[in-house]
């Protein structure tokens, strides 16, 4: 859903499917690049690089990559 309840705290979204974490606690594995912005749930532009990947939200800009294991 796209409605916002404006409750104050930003809802976090699952990086794997874009749903709120209330609905999905995370369906990606550690090595998977995020596909959705965790802040707005919008689909990310993901560019795979030799060293990993870079993900970018159209609204929020570059998304921090998880620390390399």
Q: How far apart are CA 7 and CA 32, in angstroms?
A: 30
Residue closer to Zn ion by CB (options 20, 50) is 20
Which residue is at the shortest CB distance from Zn ion? 37
Residues 2-31 that bind Zn ion (CB under 5 A): 14, 16-17, 24, 27
35 binds Zn ion (CB under 5 A): no
User: By C-alpha distance, which of 23, 68, 3, 57 is closest to 12?
Assistant: 23
* CA 12 distance to own-chain centroid: 8
User: By C-alpha distance, which of 63, 60, 36 is closest to 52?
Assistant: 63
Cβ of residue 52: shortest distance to Zn ion, in angstroms?
Answer: 20
- Contacts to Zn ion by CB under 5 A: 14, 16-17, 24, 27, 37, 39-40, 57, 59-60
């Amino acid at each position: 859903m796209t409605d916002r309840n404006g409750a104050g705290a930003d809802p976090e979204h699952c990086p794997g499917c874009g749903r709120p974490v209330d609905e999905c606690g995370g369906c990606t594995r550690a090595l998977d690049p995020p596909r959705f912005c965790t802040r707005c749930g919008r689909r990310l532009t993901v560019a795979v690089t030799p060293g990993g990947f870079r993900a970018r939200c159209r609204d929020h800009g570059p998304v921090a990559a998880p620390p390399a294991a």
